[in-house]
């Protein structure tokens, strides 16, 4: 059996170090290297490696962000790479998740490979998923990205992870103009393109409510920062005009709360 390995680290020398340690391990084959978390998310979802060496401290999208975005239930066995994070190390020990300290010790590296091989042969996906979920819960302060199917609010500097047509997009709140319901899906509209995602309006409303978004119709949520004007129609209804000239219907049920929030918006 050949175990397919992906190496993720923003430092070229660190990636090279892992590669050198794997040279004499005939069962392990390197299928790719990534220098940042965004590339790692895409590679894990597309290449589906059997094992990932994953650096924790990477700019913008760190190791915990990667696991959050991929989802603990889809994450292959992972060996975290870390230089000094004592808090994370304590969490790894608690949940029996493997890690390597930099610079990597040869004997410790061999132990980690043996442990990973056992995990892969056992294929204990449910147990591994539970361990990663518990780890993420304990280290949540170290992660800045939440997957789209989580209902916690989108806090400042957090990004929304959207999987669409084989791509993974990391969106900030200011990237989103408006959101509309589309059957069992929602469409997230940005200035560049629209993303069709399997999610509920209720969950998205809960996630974005503290970031300047407002539900304006049972099928629409808008970013208040991009509302340009309101137009009164002969029927007594209103239309919302966004900065890009998009017209969104305003339901009477949401009219008063929209007025209040627009007046409160700086």
**Phi and psi (nearest 5°) for 246?**
-65, 135
Q: What integer pLDDT is reported at residue 102 of this predicted model?
A: 87
Residue located via tokens 């990667």:
66
Q: Between β-strands 99-101 and 145-147, what pairing exists: parallel, antiparallel or unpaired?
A: unpaired
Cβ within 8 Å of residue 192, ≥6 positions away:
none
Residue 65 confidence (pLDDT) above 90: no
- 245: helix, strand or coil: coil
Residue located via tokens 């490979």:
113
Q: What integer pLDDT is reported at residue 266 of this predicted model?
A: 52
Which tokens sit at 183? Answer: 């059957």
The answer to whether 95 and 69 have CB atoms below 8 angstroms apart is no
Helices (H), the chain: 12-22, 37-47, 63-70, 86-94, 106-122, 125-138, 201-208, 252-264
Q: What integer pLDDT is reported at residue 141 of this predicted model?
A: 52
Report pLDDT digits (tens) over 135-163.
Answer: 666 665 555 554 544 434 444 445 677 76
**Side-chain-side CA neighbours of residue 231 (13 Å):** 12
Bond prior to 103 in cis (omega within 30° of 0): yes
The structural domains of the chain, ordered by start, are 3-142 (3.40.50.2300), 146-264 (2.40.50.1020)
Report pLDDT digits (tens) over 87-100.
Answer: 566 656 644 478 88
β-strand partners of 218: none
- The closest alpha carbon to 171, from 141, 200, 144, 199, belongs to 144
Q: What is the mean pLDDT of the chain?
A: 81
Cβ within 8 Å of residue 97, ≥6 positions away:
78, 80, 91, 131, 132, 135
Cβ within 8 Å of residue 130, ≥6 positions away:
72
Residue 117 confidence (pLDDT) above 80: yes
Q: Which residue has the higher pLDDT, 74 or 163?
A: 74
Report pLDDT digits (tens) over 25-49.
Answer: 999 999 999 999 888 988 998 899 9
Report pLDDT digits (tens) over 199-252.
Answer: 788 888 887 877 889 999 999 999 999 999 999 887 777 899 999 999 999 988
Which tokens sit at 145? Answer: 């990205």
Distance between start and end Cα atoms, the chain? 60
E strand or H helix at 217: strand 213-217
Cα distances (Å, whole numbers) of residue 94 to 88, 138, 150? 10, 10, 24
């Amino acid at each position: 059996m050949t175990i397919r390995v992906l190496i993720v680290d923003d430092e070229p020398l660190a990636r090279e170090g892992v590669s050198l340690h794997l040279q004499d391990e005939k069962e392990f084959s390197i299928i790719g290297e990534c220098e940042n978390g965004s590339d790692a998310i895409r590679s894990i979802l597309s290449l589906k490696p059997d094992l990932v060496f994953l650096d924790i401290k990477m700019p913008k999208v760190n190791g915990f962000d990667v696991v959050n975005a991929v989802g603990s239930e889809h994450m292959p066995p992972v060996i975290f790479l870390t230089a000094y994070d004592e808090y994370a190390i304590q969490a790894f020990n608690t949940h029996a998740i493997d890690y390597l300290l930099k610079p990597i010790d040869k004997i410790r590296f061999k132990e980690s490979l043996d442990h990973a091989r056992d995990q892969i042969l056992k294929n204990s996906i449910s147990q591994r998923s539970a361990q990663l979920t518990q780890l993420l819960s304990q280290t949540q302060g170290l992660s800045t990205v939440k997957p789209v199917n989580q209902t916690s609010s989108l806090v400042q500097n957090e990004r929304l992870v959207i999987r669409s047509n084989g791509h993974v997009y990391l969106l900030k709140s200011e990237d989103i103009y408006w959101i509309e319901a589309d059957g069992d899906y929602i469409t997230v509209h940005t200035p560049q393109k629209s993303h069709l995602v399997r999610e509920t309006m209720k969950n998205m409303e809960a996630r974005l409510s503290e970031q300047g978004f407002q539900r304006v119709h049972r099928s629409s949520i808008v970013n208040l920062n991009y509302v340009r004007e309101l137009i009164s129609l002969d029927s007594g209804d209103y239309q919302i005009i966004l900065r890009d000239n998009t017209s969104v219907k305003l339901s009477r049920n949401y009219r008063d709360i929209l007025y209040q929030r627009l007046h409160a918006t700086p």
